[in-house]
Amino acid sequence: MSGFVSFVSSGPGDPELLTLKAVRRLAEADAVLFDDLSAGAILSHARPGADLVGVGKRAGRASPKQDQVSRLLVDYAKGGARVVRLKSGDAGIFGRLEEEIDALAEAGISFEIVPGVPSACAAAAAAGIPLTRRISARRVQFITGHDVTGGLPEGLNMAALADAQATTVVYMGKRTFPALARALFAAGLPSDTPALLAEAIGHPEQSLTRGTVGTLAEALAQEIGAAPALILYGPLAGDHRDTDKESAA
């Protein structure tokens, strides 16, 4: 008899940001397949005796291929297990969720998606800013900063990304941000557009660095560091708030 898979969103890493449903699913699971950013204290909610399997993919590190992760999900569920696929942030945002859903559908395995706090929302909250503002920031857009090769994705809508009245959030973009910034400037975005580098959001080593798109691109061209990060730019990214571990780029 087939089991069941719950795609559980763990939020940015702070276990206090888990939903009640996420905690319940972890406590019920026979197996938890987790991303790197969903490890640590979050796994304390898993029931004793559950299989805990790390399947996270991080740039520059050896990690499971996507088809291996999908096969593990199918194999556990076919054995009758209640499986939690624990994904960081919200599972539906740059988490390769659709590929894993397709594998389950092909195998005839039922699933659910448990939403969570998106990392972009957690970063804005940590910085003490909203993502939107009447008149001057009516739109929010999320993009990924790299494609399957690790380079800046082709075919980006630069006119939209250079809109100085939108809040733009770049996921996984530290390495490619200098190239993105050059393209943004060519498309008309002012180099002094406020920007925020939010690293390790929801973790004890959380860090916020404020500056401009220009200064942040210059800094990242010199050093990117290993911490996972989001980059926010737009009219709200430069608003000052008293936050922990904050510095100026």
Q: Which of 14, 30, 35, 163 is catalytic?
A: 35
Rounded CA gap, 148 and 152, in Å? 9
Q: At which residue do the structure tokens 């939403």 appear?
A: 115
Asked if 189 and 213 touch (Cβ cutoff 8 Å), the reply is yes
Active site (annotated) includes residue 35? yes
Residue 224 sits at the vertex; the CA angle it makes with 202 and 157, to the nearest 5 degrees, is 85
Burial of 121 (0-12, 13-18, 19+ CB in 10 A): buried
The SS3 assignment for 96 reads: coil
Q: Which of 21, 36, 51, 57 is catalytic?
A: 57
Task: Tell me the H-state helices in the chain.
Answer: 20-28, 66-78, 97-107, 119-127, 158-161, 177-186, 213-222
- 141 C-beta neighbours (distance < 10 Å), count: 14
Structure tokens at 100: 């894993």
The CA distances from residue 10 to 6, 121, 123, 144, 244, in Å, are 12, 13, 15, 19, 22
Active site (annotated) includes residue 75? no
* Sheet order of strands, 194-199 included: 139-144, 166-171, 229-233, 194-199, 207-212, 246-248
Q: Which residues are catalytic?
A: 35, 57
